[in-house]
Structure 1
Amino acid sequence: MASSTKSRNASKGLSSSGTKVNVSYNKEEGNIRFLLRGRSVAMAVPTEQMESYSPDEKPNSPLYHLALEWVYGYRGKDCRSNVQLLPSGELVYFVAAVVVLRNLESSIQRHYLGHNDDIKCLAVHPDKTTIATGQVVGATKDKKALPAHVRVWDSASLETLHVIGEEVLERGVLCLGFSKANGGTHLCVVDDGKEKKLSVWEWNKGVKISDSKCSTEVVFAAEFNPHDDALLVTCGKNNINFWKLEGKDLVRKQGIFESHEKPKYILCVEFTKSGDVISGDSNGNLYIWGKGTNRITRAVPAVHKGGVIAMSVLPSGTLVTGGKDSCLTFFDADLQKQAATELEEHCGAVRALTSGGDEDVFVGTYNNFIVKGGPGGAFHTIARGHTDEVWGLAAHLSRDLVLTCGADKQVFLWDTVKHQLIWSVILEEPARSADFHPTEARVAIGTYSGRWFVLDAETGEVVTQHTDGDEKLSVVRYSPDGKYLAIGSHDNYLYLYNVCENGCTYKEAGKCSGHSSFVTHLDWASDSQHFMSNSGDYEILYWDVEDCKRVTSADDVRDLEWATSSCILRFDSIGIWSQGMDGTDINAACRAHGLPILATADDFGKVHVFAWPAHIPQAPSHAYGGHSSHVTNVTCSHDDSNLFTTGGMDGSLLQWRVLG
């Protein structure tokens, strides 16, 4: 199936939220009600709008758009061979549903956004411009399957050239490889289905030439022999297979180990200049297989402690291997060891290797680092990301800084102009939520266990810590005047603290009881004397700081001015919901400081931009992809020039430019 669609960092047009919401408005009481999964949710309409408000009005369309500006992160933990350097000077890698093309000299990123779910593999054509990327099966908002497929695209124009495999791939794409001897006419694809089928495609025609069952176990690599486009090799658990394309048939020969130690996993393959195959395995050994044969001609034992996970032949002929032991080993053309170096421990095992010019290499790692260095061992970080689910996100209120924290216990503070990591901290607990103090250099972090920390925002050092309950703290929020910290917990309570001594000490002010389910979101009024909260069963409650009691009269809260609008259930955000939606379909919301923008993060990999206020049901939005699976959080920069979003399991932070 061919496609000429050009991928852009732009809206796909206005979209509404689906079926019309069931809304009723009582003008006399000034209350609006709508059904959310069969539950009636009531909201107070401000006094000045009570007479004129009508839920049947035409909602405003958003005047602002987003363009993806920068992607923080890299997917190395469960992917391989996904870092490549192009002649353009751009480093190509991926995270979530975005392929990043990063110019290392100008520090500019471009992005290919053709995918709609997790990208798992990447291959570069011999022309060094055409790229193939494969993704897993996705799902739409309506639970309809989005097929696994491979996209072949031009890295100069970001134009999609062809989409293949949509009707034949089962669950995803394990690995890809372009042929080389015939100028890249063929592309081999390994399906992540039950039978791990290997298929060969004439990709520029969208035609499958041949396929064959490859293995019932995982396959790690599939490569064409650079000297003969009819020869391929695949490797995985308990096997290495040598294939020959004979017309429309793929003829297989299994590798024979004879007297050599047979490993449980053959993890990677590479080719010598003569066309021999080098395999790296889980025992740390290299085996050399003669060109066109399935027999070992030479063994190089104990190259690494643990598996040999990645290999790359540099332009000089040097072979570099990377292992589970986080080490790199350099060999000459005769496979004589020349040098070895070790990555810093926090980088983790090597997952990807590619030439960085001369003897330098780019290394992708298990802990989602990309680093560059050489035999001398002086490696510097190119990219870094979280390694587990990310929910915590906070933007500084006066500086170009954003903080992320996640279930991997890591807290990152990013400079959003230089796109650099300022500091990182590993906490004792997985982190769930975060917020900056409005005036002091402090940031509060809520965890999954009920503990919360306050860090020095300049250094990342822990200033103080407390514990409230033993369940996750979904939200932490400082009051606009900085005198209070409110904490929402999955134990159904909200905890309020007085902030003292420049944000260094915290004294308990009260415990708010009233929710019948876990607290999800919280907003402060501008007077710092009231706040509102949402819960898992769609309650909207209001609170008085003075006595930590519920405010039960709608007339007492309907005209409050709110400093933030992050609650997903409130009158001026009703337009983000549609009939049949679950309360968990939208994970977060954020109103810009000065622009008429309301942004949301949903459970289907989309970031939506609405016009503010979104108080008319069924408000239209601009929708943007890039994340995979659920988008967990969204916030805006202090000057409204950027939006920031976090992906849950994709572990990424995306920075979007706001365009009028």
Structure 2
Amino acid sequence: MSNVKHGTRDMQLNDADGSVRIYLRGRPIVLYIPTPAIDTYDLHKVNTPPQSKLKLDWVYGYRGRDCRSNLHLLPTGEIVYFVAAVVVLYNMEEHSQRHYLGHTDDVKCIAIHPNKLVVATGQVAGTDRREGMPHIRIWNAVSLTTLTVIGSGEFDGSICCLSFSKADGGNYLCAIDETSDHNISIWDWQKGERGTKVTETKCSVDTVVCADWHPLERNQIVSCGKGHVSFWSLDNGGMLYKRMGVFESREKPRYVTCVAFNQNGDVLTGDSNGNIIVWARGTNTIARLVKNLHEGSIFSICVLKNGNIVTGGGKDGRILYFDSSLEPTGEGAQIEDHFGGIRTLSEGRGSQLLIGTTRNCILVGDIEMGFCPAMLGHTEEVWGLAAHPTLPQFATAGHDRLLQMWDSLSHSVVWSKDIGEQAQSVCFSPDGNVMVVGCVSGKWLVIDSESREFYTHHSDGSEPLQVASFSPDGALLAIGSRDNHIYIYQVNEDAKKYSRVGRCMGHSSFITHLDWSTDSQYLRSNSGDYELLYWNPGVCRQIPQSSSLRDVDWSTHSCVISYETIGIWPEGADGTDVNNCARSGDRKLIATGDDFGKVKLFSYPASQPKSISHSYGGHSSHVTNVTFLQDDTRLVSTGGGDTSVLQWVVN
């Protein structure tokens, strides 16, 4: 026996039976080396990284559900917004995207410099304390180069609001963090290598939702949030002074939800009662109250270049137009319910408006032509992902009950359907005509991939169905559940009808991954306690002598625990670090998604304990799934909590 220390594990090679033993969380896992490789297997050999690399090609999604003022038109003709750890610059006319990838965790806020060339973005306090410290990155929107990184190590909480000063040409940057005091800090961002903090003070114990510099008054800032609006002055000595907005005898709103400035320099605030309050320039008193414009909150007020004013409702989904003195012009629009409420409004080209919604959609249009989606996204965790077997398309399914089909070449949604159930997994039949969606409730649905027609549904247990997979010959369907069982069905009538064969019982934890053999005779599975088991699915029996299956050819490779994936486990990994893996069709590459927001690309097989990969950021939470598309030219990854879907080109 020769052995090598590998992080926290002792990995052993057993020459007698041609097996290796690895340890995950101290649990020994025996893996059998395929016969052709037994004589040459060397624990100390290094698996070199692949020649192929990934380049981020397209980002599907937008973070509107809990962020504001995060949609802006740049002079380049691009609209800039963010989702996960990516800032997207999207040119609608050319239907092209560029990406700023400097952040290590969720981007939470954005500000555009008055020169429209410089952008500041702030990120959350990440799970990984080394990489994920909250900070602000200031970068050039044309070259995408980072100009400066400020506040690293100085913020205790996520950064939720950013604004560049306007009346002085943008010398200062104001930031508010999400600590209990919601500190407000002012930065001379061009001074020194990392900017210089001018001052910092407590903003409010209540939630703060926005802060903005006055466009005409130097050194004036207005912030607002739960039950308050604050008027700040920065004096020449760098001290900040606050005056609270006085509501007098009027009913104080629960939330002051947004701030804007009209052309005279008066301050306009929208609130949770659907009112706009006008605060006369330079004062903290109410000059005028315009009541009940919207049902529920006004989340956004946009003052257009011509002085007219547009408001957006978060609950009623209405857009209302006013002249510069807040008299209604009689124009308005209603956003369809399924897009969500209006979270942010911004002036686009010509008469166009850009709208970000609470259901993570971006709409573009005007009163005449109506509003069309420029970007649709998921609104909750995304776990289900499957590549169409013959077309350059893929499907995603999430806890938001949405099943969506995407086209990877046109970068667009082919269709989107509310299936009425929280979805956990999805797969295609071998011919691509039928999809099976496994749900959180233990129910699974069969849907036509073109017409979206429901064919049938079944239920197995009451736990989430983590994985579903058709056998390569299309005769059987295997469904792995969180209840530790794999359910096997016979597939009839063009995959429209199913009859249960039985269930494979033997795992002592929930099923995480499944692979079929190329000849459809065998099944292998991983579980939450790091087991690798083999099955005869036709009779739902476990095959205990796994050494007899060392030379089986597997049709897919999604099992993260196997001989070919020894090297995807980082040193000292616990068994939950790597969430998923996928092999390319040409069997040269294997991609993984992990708990640190990284997509990694290895040479296949990654059977050496030391296997070197290329690593890519962009997701901010666990990468819940990865898959190569049908011709291996693209890879798709899903980020659970960050709701994003990233498409990568394989070069």
| Structure 2 residue 360 is matched with structure 1 residue 368 | yes
Are the equivalent residues in 1 in contact too, given 2:8–2:572 (CA < 8 A)?
no
Map of 2:229 onto structure 1: 240
- Describe the SS at the equivalent of 1:139: coil
Find 1:116's aligned residue among 100, 104, 108: 104
Kindly indicate whether residue 320 of structure 2 is the aligned counterpart of residue 329 of structure 1.
yes
Q: How does 1:373-412 map to 2 (within 5 A)?
A: 373-376=365-368, 378-412=370-404
Q: Distance in 1 between matches of 2:22 and 2:97?
A: 43
AA partner of residue 491 (structure 2): V
Distance 1:85-1:96 versus aligned 2 partners, 3 A rule? same
Matched, 1:177 2:169: no
Kept in 2, the 8 Å contact 1:595–1:640? The answer is no
2:546 to 519, 531, 554: 554
Q: Per-residue deviation at 1:553?
A: 1.5
Matched, 1:195 2:181: yes
Distance in 2, Cα, partners of 1:135 & 1:229: 27
- The structural deviation recorded for 1:146 is 2.5
Maintained 8 Å contact 1:21/1:617: no
Q: Which amino acid aligns with 1:435?
A: C
**RCO greater where, 1 or 2, for CA within 8 Å and sep 6 or more?**
1
Partner of 1:635: 627
Other structure's SS at 2:564 match: helix
The aligned counterpart of 2:72 is 84
Matches of 2:154 and 2:116, distance apart in 1: 27
Distance (Å, rounded) in 2 between the aligned partners of 1:527 and 1:50: 24
* Offset, 1:511: 1.1
Partner of 2:95: 107
What's the CA shift for 1:144?
Answer: 4.1
* 1:307 aligns to 2:297 (yes or no): yes
Aligned to 1:487: 479
Higher mean alpha-carbon deviation, 543-552 vs 646-655, is at 543-552
Distance of 1:605 and 1:173 partners within structure 2: 20
Tell me the distance in 2 between the aligned counterparts of 1:342 and 1:56.
Answer: 65
1:423 aligns with 2:415: yes
- Aligned mates of 1:265, 1:108 — CA distance in 2: 38
**Structure 1 residue 257 and structure 2 residue 247: aligned?**
yes
Distance 1:579 1:211 in 2: 42
Kindly provide the amino acid, as one letter, of the partner of residue 479 in structure 2.
Answer: I
CA drift of 1:174 comes to: 1.1
The CA distance in 1 between the partners of 2:632 and 2:242, in whole Å, is: 58
Partner of 1:281: 271
Q: Alpha-carbon deviation of 1:121? A: 0.5
Structure 1 residue 366 displacement after superposition: 0.4
Kept after mapping to 2: 8 A contact 1:440/1:502: no
**Amino acid in structure 1 at the alignment position of 2:266:** D
- Aligned partners of 2:506, 2:248: CA distance in 1, in Å? 71
Q: In structure 1, how many angstroms separate the alpha carbons of the residues matched to 2:69 and 2:455?
A: 41
1:115-154 aligned at under 5 Å gives the runs 115-140=103-128, 144=130, 146-154=132-140
In the alignment, what sits opposite 2:495?
A: 503
Pair 1:267 & 2:253 matched: no
Task: Note if contact 1:21-1:577 (Cα within 8 Å) is conserved in structure 2.
Answer: no
Which 10-residue stretch deviates more, 506-515 or 409-418? 506-515
Preserved CA contact (<8 Å) 1:21 1:578? no
Are residues 1:211 and 2:200 paired? Answer: yes
The CA distance in 2 between the partners of 1:316 and 1:228, in whole Å, is 20
Alignment partners' CA distance in 1, 2:380 and 2:510: 23
CA distance in 1, matches of 2:571, 2:119: 41
Amino acid of the structure 2 residue aligned with 1:421: V
1:69 to 49, 53, 57: 57
- For residues 487 and 144 of structure 1, what CA distance do their matches in structure 2 show? 39
Q: Which moved more, 1:498-507 or 1:152-161?
A: 498-507
Per-residue deviation, 1:145? 6.2
1:166 is matched with which residue?
Answer: 152
> Does residue 432 of structure 1 match 2:420?
no
Distance, in Å, in 2 between the alignment partners of 1:176 and 1:510 is 57
1:158-190 deviation digits (Å, cap 9, x = unpaired)? 000011111221111110111111111111101
What SS does structure 1 have at the residue aligned with 2:611? coil
Report the Cα distance in structure 2 between the residues aligned to 1:258 and 1:359, rounded to whole angstroms: 38
| CA gap 1:285/1:609 in 2 versus in 1, 3 angstroms | same
Who is 2:23 aligned against? 35
Match of residue 4 from structure 1: none
Report the CA distance between 1:198 and its aligned residue: 0.8
- Which residue is 1:14 aligned to? none
Superposition deviation, residue 440 in structure 1: 4.4
Contiguous gaps of at least 5 residues in structure 1: 1-16
Asked if the contact 1:137/1:145 (under 8 Å) is kept, the reply is no
Bigger drift between 145-154 and 88-97 goes to 145-154
Distance 2:71 2:570 in 1: 41
**Which amino acid in 2 is paired with 1:28?**
A
CA distance in structure 1 between the aligned counterparts of 2:144 and 2:6, rounded to whole angstroms: 31
| Alignment partners' CA distance in 2, 1:440 and 1:60 | 35
Displacement, 1:261?
2.4
Paired positions, count: 641
Is 1:343–1:377's contact at 8 Å kept on the other side of the alignment?
A: no
Length-normalised TM-score, structure 1: 0.95
Residues 9, 26 of structure 2: 8 Å contact kept: no
Give the 3 Å change call, closer, same or farther, for CA 52–82 of structure 1 in structure 2.
same
Cα distance in 2 for partners of 1:404, 1:170 equals 35
Q: Is the 2:597–2:623 contact (alpha carbons within 8 Å) kept by the matching residues of 1?
A: yes
Structure 1: distance between partners of 2:75 and 2:636: 31
Quick check: 1:608–1:621 contact (8 Å CA) kept in 2?
yes
Question: Aligned to 2:528, which of 536, 557, 560?
Answer: 536
Distance in 2 of aligned mates of 1:137 and 1:239:
26
Question: Over residues 443-497 of structure 1, what are the superposed CA-to-partner deviations in whole Å (9 max), with x where a residue is unaligned?
Answer: 1110111110111000222111111111111100011111111000111110111
The equivalent residue for 1:6 is none
Equivalent position of 1:355 in the other structure: 347
Structure 1 residues 62, 21: closer, same or farther in 2, change over 3 A?
A: farther
- TM superposition shift of 1:504: 0.7
Secondary structure of the structure 1 residue equivalent to 2:566: helix
1:508-548 per-residue CA deviation (whole Å, 9 max, x = no partner) reads: 12211111111100001101010100001111100113311
Equivalent position to 2:467, from 472, 475, 480:
475
RMSD over equivalenced CA pairs, Å? 1.3
Structure 1 residues 303-333: Cα deviation after superposition (integer angstroms, max 9, x where no partner): 1000111111112221111112111111011
Mean alpha-carbon deviation: is it higher for 237-246 or for 258-267?
258-267
Tell me how far apart the structure 2 counterparts of residues 595 and 28 of structure 1 sit (CA, whole Å). 29
Question: What pairs up with 1:490-639 in 2 under 5 angstroms?
Answer: 490-639=482-631
TM-score, normalized by length of structure 2? 0.97
CA apart distance, 1:260: 2.4
Cα deviation code 1:82-125 (max 9, x no counterpart):
00011111010100000000011111100000000011111111
| Partners of 2:341 and 2:359 within 8 A in 1 | yes
Q: State how far apart, in whole Å, the 2-side matches of 1:350 and 1:421 are.
A: 21
> SS of the residue aligned with 1:444?
strand
Contact 1:243 1:253 in 2 (8 A): yes
* Deviation at residue 301 of structure 1 after TM alignment: 0.8
Confirm or deny: 8 A CA contact 1:316 1:358 kept in the other structure.
no
